[in-house]
Amino acid sequence: MTGAALGVAALALAMGTFMQVLDSTIANVSLPTISGNLGVSTNQGTWVITAFAVANGIGVPLTGWLMGRYGVVRTFVGSVLLFTIASFLCGIAWSLPSLIFFRVLQGGVSGPMIPGSQALLISIFPSDKRGAAMGIWSITTLVAPICGPILGGYISDNYHWGWIFLINVPVGLAVTFLCWQGLKGRETPTRKLPVDNVGLALLVVWVGALQVMLDQGKDLDWFASTQIVILAIVTAIGFAAFLIWELTAKNPIVDLSLFKSRNFALGTLAFCLGYAVFFACNLLMPLWLQTQVGYTATWAGLVAAPTGVIAVLLTPLSAKLISKIDARIIATVAYIAFGVSYLMRARFTADASFVDFMLPLLVQGIAMATFFLAMITILLDGIPSHKIPLASGLSNFARITGGGFAASIVTTLWDRREALHQSRMADQTTIFTPGLSKALAGLHSAGFPDLAAKAAVTRTMTSQAYLLAANDIFWASGWICILLIGMVWLCKRAVSGGGAPVAAD
């Protein structure tokens, strides 16, 4: 495949990835609007997010089996078509139960979309240009999470919330048509694989319990809640049983033998941990800016904008270099850039400016332009062609799960570190503390009553405690990324191309 046909197919596959990643974030910011419109509480409305996460978490690891059974092209195109139908149904949902049901459908059928687009992009590009294929995939994976909250907020503020799902329909139909027309002649061989019913049931149990635990953990105060304890036990037992069964089953639903490859095992672990740290810091930064610094959602978004711009500009260069330079060197650059970005944030002060906030995000853009590309090249190295869809599915499942853990834990950790810093400041502060006395005197002279003056000082101390707590998390994140460089160099040098093709060139 060359020329215009290659360009159209690559664009269609990229849009398939974009749609799926966009839909995993677009509903988050619209949750209050959706809940209010459907006449339910925001806590009940969170099941709209949880339902998608649970179903998608189950669907992604099944990608390898589905593509081996039905072929990569059929599975991907069918997934996009069903995702489009599910999006339409979400857009016309008439109640919370109906919306949750359609979100389960949407999440489940979208499982093969990201691994499928990745595998097909690798297959349609010549081996010496597979870096460009992964560059295209990386850009769409980077841009979609940035666009999701912005687009979701705009639609919710100006139109009916259903349009956050209905916008998928024309794009999904176009992707379905273009991919089928352009790629149906490149279908992979299929095999009559029996269904591993026990493995599938165990997968549904432990992944479902894990996703619900992660989504509901913060609201229920984690292990102070009996429900979370039960979910954790179910997850642990289910996961152990799943591992034992899949490692001994004749035809496992998820082939775990891939983890015998050193590059795949270590690469996936480094990929998962690096993405989890990135996800946590990217969630914490705008949250802190909006709740403690006083930035609006728009200004918080502008602070983050340089990341996407730099990443999009540098990704084509990274794609060219990946075929000429050891991928471990490029991955090292990514982790160093991540580490420097987070350690720069760990030095934020109460009087930091917009530029101070933006500079670390510029450095993060360098990391994002190299991270996905290098890690995918490393972990797919040496994987047989027919197992690339499975490898892609497992690595993306690990990445998504890592992000889920990070999102659940970071806000809880932030609150607890804030309480610690607040307590320390309270222990070290008395009415005779010079700084406090001066602040209260200044407020009194400005006309503040005593109670209002003390409340203002308390708010300032709380804001400072949240700043120190955020700095703690950024500091730890920076050093985690530096340490992950060691894991990268435990991998073997990847052969240019990042894995074998899925179909013949």
Tell me the pLDDT tens digit for each residue of 155-197.
877 888 899 899 999 999 999 999 998 888 888 777 787 878 8
Higher-pLDDT residue of 282 and 167 is: 167
Q: How far apart are CA 181 and CA 12, in angstroms?
A: 11
Is 60 exceeded by the pLDDT of residue 36? yes
What was the pLDDT predicted at 451?
Answer: 65
- Of 480 and 396, more confident: 480
Homologous superfamily (CATH) of 260-505 is MFS general substrate transporter like domains (1.20.1250.20)
Residue 198 has pLDDT above 50, yes or no: yes
Same CATH fold assignment for domains 1-194 and 260-505: yes
Instruction: Read off the tokens for 191.
Output: 């095999």
HEC string for 237-251: HHHHHHHHHHHHCCC
Question: Per-domain residue ranges for the chain?
Answer: 1-194, 196-252, 260-505
Query: To the nearest whole number, what is the mean pLDDT of the chain?
Result: 84
pLDDT mean over 468-487: 95
Asked if pLDDT for residue 4 goes beyond 90, the answer is: no
Candidates 389, 6, 15; CA nearest to 173 is: 15
Backbone angles phi, psi at 161, to 5 degrees: -60, -25
Structure tokens at 44: 């009940």
Residue 499 has pLDDT above 60, yes or no: no
Q: For 388-402, what is the mean pLDDT?
A: 84
- Residue 483, pLDDT > 60, answer yes
| Residue found by looking up tokens 């006449």 in the block | 39
- What is the pLDDT averaged over residues 303-329? 84
Taking the C-alpha atoms of residue 172 and residue 82, their distance in angstroms, rounded to an integer, is 9
Q: Which helix (H) or strand (E) holds 221?
A: none
Q: What is the pLDDT at residue 126?
A: 78
> Bigger pLDDT: 420 or 53?
420
pTM for this entry: 0.81
∠ Cα 113 118 123 (to 5°): 125
Residue 493 pLDDT greater than 60, yes or no: yes
Question: Which long-range contacts link 258-263 to residues 24+ away (Cβ below 8 Å)?
Answer: 258/383, 258/387, 258/390, 258/391, 258/394, 261/382, 261/383, 262/490, 262/491, 262/492, 263/378, 263/379, 263/381, 263/382, 263/491, 263/492, 263/494
Per the model's pLDDT, the better-predicted residue between 293 and 29 turns out to be: 293
User: What do you get for the CA distance between the two ends of the chain, in Å?
Assistant: 7
- Work out the average pLDDT over 27-50: 79
Average pLDDT over residues 214-222: 81
**pLDDT level of residue 430 (50, 70, 90 thresholds):** low
**Which tens digit of pLDDT belongs to each residue from 50-109?**
788 788 888 888 888 888 888 889 999 999 999 999 999 999 998 989 999 999 999 889
pLDDT tier, 319 (very low <50, low <70, confident <90, very high otherwise): confident
Residue 377, both tokens: 């090249």
The H or E element spanning position 184 is none
> Could you tell me which residue, 442 or 37, shows the higher pLDDT?
37
The model's pLDDT over 352-390, given as tens digits with 9 standing for 90+, comes to 899 999 999 999 999 988 998 899 889 988 888 778 878
Q: Which residue has the higher pLDDT, 256 or 472?
A: 472
pLDDT of residue 62: 84
Question: pLDDT digit string (tens) for 222-267?
Answer: 888 899 999 999 999 999 999 999 888 888 888 888 888 999 999 9
Is the per-residue pLDDT at 281 higher than 70?
A: yes
CATH of 1-194, one of 1.10.150.120, 1.20.1250.20, 2.40.50.140, 3.30.750.200: 1.20.1250.20
pLDDT for residue 343 is more than 60:
yes
Average pLDDT (452-480) is 84
Q: Residue 86: what pLDDT?
A: 95
Question: How many helices (H) and strands (E) in the chain?
Answer: 20, 0
Mean pLDDT (whole number) for 432-447: 62
